[in-house]
């Protein structure tokens, strides 16, 4: 009898339930390393063989303690795979794989999917359009950059998620006090030309260096504007076969090939310049998209990215991967902070609604239809109603999880 594969999942934030369930459906032994602050009952316990708790401070684990703990666990468990379920766990997973010599993405490769400076440098080397940028390091070169590259500019942390920690710089004099405040952490940032435009995301499945599935969507308000100024978050499927759809699929494949992704899932963002219509690469991640994008993609295509990722991790290229059947519908997602603790969306009753958010002080819906025009209509109508019925705002966080 073949011994089951043991998958060790790292989750400093609660997510990836469907990944855990798919591992169980595939007959794996599932171990979960998670934070003490997350209630045990939050997880799909029927799909997990053992839960190990890490002390956490704002869900941050001590790296050396994690290495020692997992190494101690490996004395009695034959760990075959290590998978990070949250973006902030990617680097630790890579470190553990290299320390225990377990197959999967190592530390160097992981940098292309976590470090915004590394991925931009790589994209530029591969002749992929990317906004002009420079590492925050040499002040003379920074002055020269701002003199030659028209402002405004974005000051971006290299390893945060979403738009958290980004600051817009309108004049060179604004930069230096911020750098003084950052002190020795300056080198963990980059400065990038601000490109006005619409932001798109491509969510992919990659098997043996080939993109076997890609879904293209366009945000409403940009993530930066939502994070810093508030608003209802929306995103919707791009018209299939359109010029934008084809360009995004092509550019996404070039990015993932350039970054060296062998297998897994990815969430990649591009901005379409208002000035020249070019798509510029913004960032990529070797994970599923946050903000309920997994549910959006599944509504439009029938593909659950968590489940497909689990299959790829399990087979690890040892046998052919088969993508689940794909459906070509359209979907739209809207999410808002809500002034009510438990907002009631029952007044939204169109048959196209396929998902409702269940989260304190949040309202969210996904609509699905074979008609893209119907999605446009519902997103426009519901966004206006969300502002009237639910909308609330709060200060932008210094760091985001989820």
- The β-bridge relationship of strands 353-356 and 362-369 is antiparallel
211 forms beta bridges with 206
CA angle 109, 163, 143 (to 5 degrees): 85
- Domains plus CATH for the chain? 6-111 (3.40.50.20), 132-193 (3.30.1490.20), 197-389 (3.30.470.20)
What tokens does 168 get? 């817009």
Q: Which two tokens stand for residue 1?
A: 């009898």
Q: ∠ CA(323), CA(237), CA(344), 5° rounding?
A: 105
For the packed helices 63-73 and 90-100, what is the interaxial angle rounded to 10 degrees? Answer: 50
pLDDT of residue 307: 98
Note the pLDDT of residue 400.
38
Beta carbons within 10 angstroms of residue 160's beta carbon: 19
User: Average pLDDT by consecutive 10-residue portion of the chain (402 residues)?
Assistant: 89 95 97 94 96 82 93 96 94 96 94 96 97 98 98 93 80 96 96 97 98 98 89 97 98 98 98 97 95 97 98 95 97 97 97 97 98 98 97 68 38
- Residue identified by tokens 């699905």 is 368
CA 324/CA 342 separation, integer angstroms: 35
Hunting for tokens 């009898």 — which residue is that? 1
Q: How far is CA 17 from CA 30, 192, 330, in A?
A: 12, 36, 24
- Is residue 86 classed as helix, strand or coil in its secondary structure? coil
The reported pLDDT for the residue numbered 401 is 39
pTM for this entry: 0.94
Q: Six-digit token pair at 104?
A: 């999967």
Q: Per-residue b/e over 171-202, b at no fewer than 16 CB within 10 Å? A: eeeebeeebeeeeeebebbbbbbbbebebbbb
3-state secondary structure of 7: strand
For residue 347, count other CB atoms closer than 10 A to its CB: 7
Mark 219-246 as b/e (b = at least 16 C-beta within 10 Å). bbbbbbebbbebbbbbbbbbeeeeebbe
Total residue length of the chain: 402
**Under 8 Å between Cβ of 82 and 10:** yes
Quick one: pLDDT at residue 52?
94
Q: Tell me which residue of 233, 224, 229 sits closest to 394, measured CA to CA.
A: 229
Q: What is the pLDDT of residue 102?
A: 96
On the question of a cis peptide bond just before residue 201, with omega within 30 degrees of 0, the verdict is no
Tell me if 88 sits within 8 A of 95, measured CB to CB.
Answer: no
* Cα–Cα distance measured from residue 187 to residue 189, given in angstroms and rounded to the nearest whole number: 5
pLDDT at 228: 84
SS3 content of the chain, % helix, strand, coil (to 5): 35, 25, 40
Cα distance between residue 189 and residue 158, in whole Å = 5
């Amino acid at each position: 009898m073949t011994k089951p594969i043991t998958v060790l999942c790292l989750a400093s934030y609660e997510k990836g339930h469907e990944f855990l369930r798919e591992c169980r459906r595939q007959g794996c032994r599932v171990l979960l390393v998670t934070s003490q602050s997350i209630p045990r009952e939050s997880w799909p316990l029927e799909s997990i063989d053992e839960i190990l708790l890490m002390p956490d401070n704002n869900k941050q684990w001590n790296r050396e303690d994690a290495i020692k703990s997992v190494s101690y666990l490996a004395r009695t468990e034959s760990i075959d795979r290590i998978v990070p379920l949250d973006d902030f766990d990617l680097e630790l997973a890579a470190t553990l794989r290299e320390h225990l010599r377990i197959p999967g993405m190592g530390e160097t490769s992981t940098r292309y999917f976590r470090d915004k400076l590394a991925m931009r440098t790589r994209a530029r080397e591969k002749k992929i359009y990317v906004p002009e940028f420079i590492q925050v390091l040499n002040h003379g070169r920074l002055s020269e950059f701002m003199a030659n590259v028209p402002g405004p500019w974005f000051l971006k942390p290299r390893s945060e998620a979403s738009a958290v920690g980004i600051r817009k710089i309108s004049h060179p004099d604004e930069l230096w006090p911020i750098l003084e405040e950052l002190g020795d952490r300056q080198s963990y940032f980059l400065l990038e030309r601000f490109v006005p435009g619409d932001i798109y995301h491509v969510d992919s499945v990659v098997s043996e260096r080939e993109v076997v599935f890609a879904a293209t969507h366009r945000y409403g308000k940009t993530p930066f504007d939502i994070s810093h100024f508030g608003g209802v978050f929306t995103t919707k499927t791009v018209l299939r076969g359109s010029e934008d759809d084809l360009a995004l699929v092509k550019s996404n494949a070039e990015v993932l090939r350039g970054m060296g992704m062998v297998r897994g899932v990815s969430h990649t963002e591009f901005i379409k310049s208002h000035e020249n219509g070019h798509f510029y690469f913004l960032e990529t991640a070797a994970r599923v998209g946050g903000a309920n994008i997994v549910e959006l993609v599944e509504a439009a295509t029938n593909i659950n990215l968590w489940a497909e990722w689990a299959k790829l991790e399990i087979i690890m290229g040892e046998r052919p991967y088969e993508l689940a059947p794909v459906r070509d519908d359209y979907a739209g997602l809207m999410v808002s902070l809500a002034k009510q603790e438990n907002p009631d969306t029952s007044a939204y009753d169109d048959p196209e609604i396929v998902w409702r958010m269940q989260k304190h002080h949040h309202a969210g819906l996904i609509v699905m239809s074979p008609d893209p025009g119907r999605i446009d209509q519902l997103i426009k109508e519901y966004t206006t109603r969300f502002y009237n019925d639910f909308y609330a705002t709060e200060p932008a966080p210094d760091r985001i999880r989820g």
